[in-house]
Amino acid sequence: MGMNYFHQLLCRSSMWERASATRIVPWALDRLDLGDSALEVGPGYGANVRTLRGRAAALTGLEIDPALAARLRSRQSGQLEVIEGDGTAMPLPDKEFSSVVCFTMLHHVPSPDQQDALFAEAFRVLRPEGVFAGSDGLDSPFFRLMHIGDTCVPVPPATLTGRLTGIGFTDIEIDTGATMFRFRARRP
C-alpha cells in the first residue's frame, strides 16, 4: 500500500514511535487485554512493537511490503515473528490468535471491499472470545494533504459497526477523538 516520501519519513521517525507508544496505542487499547498471542496487521516500520510486547506474551506482525518485512526482521529480531503477507488473505491458520490489532493503517487498504476482507480475515484468525482492536485517522483536509500520492481510503467510523457486525463480530465499540477513532470488537 503506497506511501509518499514525507509519510515514510514520518512513520519511521522516533517522534512517531513516541507518539504511537504514548498516545495512540494506549488510547486504542485502554483497559483491553490482548491475551497470550497478538497479531499486528501492518506493523510497517515497527513503531508499536515495544509497546505491544509489553501487552502480549507473543507478538506476530503481518506486513505486506517485503522491504518493511525485511527491515522488521532485522531491527526487531526476537521481539516479534514477522510474516510477509496481505491482510486481506492472511497466510495464517484459523483461530490462531487471542487478539488482532492494527493502528493507522486501514486507510492504506485500497478499497472498502478490501478493508472488509481484512476484517473477515481478522475474524477468521481470532480464537473465540478474541478481540479485534485498533485505530485509524479521521478524514479531513489535513489528513488528505498528508496522504497526497498515497493510497488513502479513509474508513468512516459511522459505517464500521455495521461492517463488523456483518462479518460476525459482537461487542463492537467505536470512539472518536479529535483526529482519530478507535474500535474494538469481539469474536463470539
* pLDDT digits 0-9 by tens, 10-23: 888 888 889 988 99
Residue 6 has pLDDT above 90, yes or no: no
- Find where cell 486481506 sits: 88
- Find where cell 516520501 sits: 5
Residue 1 has pLDDT above 60, yes or no: no
Using alpha carbons, list the distances in angstroms from residue 16 to 9, 22, 42, 150: 9, 10, 15, 18
Q: Residue 13: what pLDDT? A: 80
**Range with the largest mean pLDDT of 13-17, 28-32, 73-77, 149-153:** 28-32
| Mean pLDDT along residues 74-78 | 91
For residue 188, give the C-alpha cell: 463470539
Q: Residue 129: what pLDDT? A: 98
Q: Residue 74: what pLDDT? A: 95
* pLDDT digits 0-9 by tens, 98-127: 999 999 999 999 999 999 999 999 999 999
Residue 24: count of CB within 10 angstroms of its CB: 21
pTM of full prediction above 0.85:
yes
CA–CA dist 151, 149 (Å, integer)? 7
User: Which of 101, 112, 102 is closest to 151 using CA atoms?
Assistant: 112
* pLDDT digits 0-9 by tens, 132-149: 999 999 999 999 988 898
Give the rounded distance of the alpha carbon of 35 from its chain centre: 16
Residue 2 has pLDDT above 80, yes or no: no
- Find where cell 498515497 sits: 150
